Structure 1
Amino acid sequence: MALLIAPALVVSASADAKDWSGWNIHVVDYPVSHGMEAFAAEVSEKTDGRLTSKVFHGGVLGSQPDAIEQTRLGIINFGVFSLGPMGQAVPEANVVSLPFIFKGVDQMHRLMDGEAGAAIGEGLAEKGIVALGYYDAGARSFYNSKKPINSPDDVAGLKVRVMNNDLFVGMVDSMGGNATPMAFGEVYTALQTGIVDGAENNPPSYESTNHFEVAGFYSMSEHLIIPECLCMSKRTWDELSAEDQAIVQEAATNSVTLQRKLWAEREEASMSKLRDAGVQINTIDDKSKFQAAMEPVYAQFLEANPELSDLVQLMRSSD
């Protein structure tokens, strides 16, 4: 969707006119990118061109840590950020990186649109960032070259590549597997040569990297479901009138609906390709055994972050 950029003479004609910059790490043709463009276009349309935006895709405005800091300062006005890395600065955001904290994507949507999302939003606000809504970034599941995974016992003994994060290392170790942190670009060869037996990722990543060619068992564990936040600088937000804040929030809510729809379509297209390629896909309807196996991971996290126990309990007990 094309941005509606107001001509310079219109901007100069109104003291209230603003030109915003938006940060995005993803390529132009991506569900997040389309959601952001729709957000920018709706805000421009409903403010009669007073609030116009240019979304800079592909991380051209800098890395996520740099962009978050620039958003806090009001240099970048809005962006879509993964809550995973944001957890380093906002403890509340780190809760979504706990393995199996969500039972599924639908439940994640409900929690992030409700109390859990509000609690994380409060933590972000304290750091100068307003959470307008939460985009879908998919669910990461296990894949390997040996067998289907239906329970934690099936992970035992497997060498599994994970991201370089203590939470994810602990996740695999708690199930008896051998966690192997490794750069993402090395995973295909590592699977092909047997350095690792498996890895984990969302369907589009598993499919687009051709990892399914060397690891043909895909088990829908959905152990990590880390949403992305459509965020605005609090400095930018506070400059808006109550009427414009309402317009911005409505546009954000609409963009969330669009982005989630586009993400679901993208995932289904990947799953269709995987099925056509003969990948053995299995679902895991009851994740309670996996969640129980994560107790050591949760205990360590809560020991370091006792103030987050209520939020963790809210999310774990929700249906």
Structure 2
Amino acid sequence: MGMIRTIATRLAVATALAGIASSAFAQEIVLRSSDTHPDGYPTVEAVKYMGELVKERSNGRIAIEVYHSAQLGEEKDTIEQTQFGVIDLNRVSMGTMNNVVEATRAFSLPYIFRSTDHLHAVTDGPIGQEVLESFTPHNMIGLAIYDAGFRSFYNSKKPITSMDDLAGMKFRVIQSDVFVDMVNALGANATPMPYGEVYSAIQTGVIDGAENNWPSLESSKHYEVAKYYTLDEHMSVPEILVMSKMSWEKLTPEDQEIIRTAAQDSVAEMRKLWQAREAESEKVVTDAGVEIVREIDKQPFMDAMKPVYEKHVTSDVLKDMVARIQATE
């Protein structure tokens, strides 16, 4: 009898230990996060910083692994993977989301943001919150909006000092109708193309140039093949950090709160990193002998955007959002 009791006790202990082990294992959550930018880039570092906060606040139960440099695919490819829960977290440009989430189009319009302060007033306020929430019906949870600086034209042919200089030139744009129509409205030819193909396309003359911010021009090394950069600052399309709704729904409400607040807390860190990186990138590009056109009359560029707004701001939702962005002080 004693023998049976001993065996039963041992079985009970073993079962209990197995239970503890499996519950400990269940608490180990590893989230995969995608980014097309290289290691060290402000968005990559911001998500790493978020990961540190999450690890600390979850007592080590939740970890975020950041796959930078498009290891999980170019932005357009990773969106679908995020919707299906293959990728848990994804940092993409709002421009790439234009054909998926309507509200992102308002943030991607040319000259919609007057300055970085204006951008922050919008993204940190109720409009920013609305845009984040607009991802939910598309199987993604909007977590945070990051800066992406102002985008300007760079090319391998000549300094662009006015809109006339753009006539007939071929520029790569991200795969978004707004970007295509913006470049075409300026008299140039838009060529949608993945980010990773731009360097060789400029080098081989398939395109004349592209448009982007200081850190992207520098980190992609496009400045090696495009020696002219004109600060027309036509767009400041923010970046967005989203989570797969499928991955999100596997978390407890407490863990969801940890993820959401850590993402929000990473925004200030990202902005600090961004400002430092912008200054650093500007120095690298300038030191490499790129000719910078700093003074340009932006008014003709702005005036040329009327048909772009007419074509893309058609729904009442977008018309209302654009009016509120423009009215934000």
Q: Distance in 2 between matches of 1:222 and 1:182?
A: 19
Q: Distance in 2 between matches of 1:67 and 1:215?
A: 28
| CA positional deviation for 1:318 | 3.2
Structure 1 partner of 2:122: 111
State the number of aligned residues. 303
| CA positional deviation for 1:257 | 1.8
| CA positional deviation for 1:296 | 0.5
Structure 1 partner of 2:32: 22
Of 83, 92, 98, the residue aligned with 1:87 is 98
Structure 2 partner of 1:221: 232
Q: Given the two structures, how large is their TM-score scaled by the length of structure 2?
A: 0.78
Q: Distance in 2 between matches of 1:263 and 1:79?
A: 18
Q: Given the two structures, how large is their TM-score scaled by the length of structure 1?
A: 0.80
Structure 2 partner of 1:124: 135
- Decide whether aligned partners of structure 1 residues 54 and 292 sit closer, same or farther in structure 2, where only a CA change above 3 A counts: same
Q: Deviations over 1:201-222 (max 9, x none)?
A: 2223334555546654422222
Of 51, 57, 63, the residue aligned with 1:46 is 57
- 1:64-75 equivalent positions in 2, closer than 5 A: 64-75=75-86
- Decide whether aligned partners of structure 1 residues 125 and 154 sit closer, same or farther in structure 2, where only a CA change above 3 A counts: same
| CA positional deviation for 1:287 | 4.3
Structure 2 partner of 1:136: 147
Instruction: Note the residue ranges of structure 1 that are not aligned, 5 or more in a row.
Output: 1-8
- Decide whether aligned partners of structure 1 residues 315 and 45 sit closer, same or farther in structure 2, where only a CA change above 3 A counts: same
Q: Deviations over 1:276-304 (max 9, x none)?
A: 2443434458745432320001101123x
Corresponding position: 1:206 with 2:217 = yes
Higher Rg: 2
Corresponding position: 1:296 with 2:307 = yes
Corresponding position: 1:32 with 2:43 = yes
Of 252, 262, 268, the residue aligned with 2:273 is 262
Instruction: Note the residue ranges of structure 2 that are not aligned, 5 or more in a row.
Output: 1-18
Corresponding position: 1:188 with 2:198 = no
Q: Distance in 1 between matches of 2:133 and 2:270?
A: 23
Corresponding position: 1:147 with 2:152 = no
Q: SS of 1:313's equivalent?
A: helix
Deviates further, 106-115 or 43-52: 106-115
- Decide whether aligned partners of structure 1 residues 169 and 238 sit closer, same or farther in structure 2, where only a CA change above 3 A counts: closer
Aligned amino acid, residue 146 of structure 2: Y
Deviates further, 70-79 or 17-26: 70-79
Structure 1 partner of 2:10: none
